[in-house]
Structure 1
Amino acid sequence: MNIAFFLLPKQDVITVTQEATLRQTLEKMEHHRYTAVPIIDEHGGYAGTVTEGDLLWFMKSRPDLTFENANKVKLSEVPLRLNNRSVQIDSNMGDLITLAKAQNFVPVVDDIGRFIGIVRRSEIIDYCQTIMQQGQTAMEA
């Protein structure tokens, strides 16, 4: 199975850039009700994933930081707790499943590292469930 079948293309994915401010990132995540979003670099490459936890821990470590002045801090200043890895579009399902165990979504890049979309964990679980059901049906027949 080709992972492109599961791909949510980049135009349908909410992302932030490394140059986004902390406030812009918080507002975008709140508006879309996401707990994590991919970060895209200036060349269109996948640069990481920022989570609510990353933002909260950063704000906790900076008592002078308020929501009002969060527009003065670039996202690139926020340390990321996790190193969410991406896969290339020609990767196999095993690679995708391995990463999805620890990530809500798996970023997908093309052969030169440009971000082209994500595969959501829920899509991978649905795929695995279908495979298991097909195996169950075959065993019962």
Structure 2
Amino acid sequence: MSNAVESPGDRSFGYSEGTATWATRYIDPSGFECMLSLQAESGLEALRKAESALAHLKDAQCIPLRKDSPESAKKSFNKPSGATVLIKPEGDEKNPTCPLHGVEMQKWSRNGRTWYSHRWEGGWCNGKQS
């Protein structure tokens, strides 16, 4: 019989405490809400993977999904504000084409207001020159 005492830190439970996870939510070009989760051995590796993933999502014209923080919700407590909704064309309908860039625009709606826009060079274009 051994008198050795096993400390809790000596046990392996099939995971490493050095792992890191990074996640983001986005809307894909067809309008679906998606989540991407990455795991890495370290925080630095997770950030490198995240940088690559964000570049890919941007190239694929995915849209970041931003939820209001609790702080912004407190500030706008008395102001009714609905979610911005992507409206897909019905049947054979097509959205208008941007006169500046020649790409199909997306129809959006929020609080009874409707507009068309599309992603362009890291920002949004509404089809009008500024």
Bigger-Rg structure (1/2): 2
Specify which structure has the higher proportion of strand. 2
Higher helix share: 1
TM-score under structure 2 length normalisation: 0.24
TM-score by length of 1: 0.23
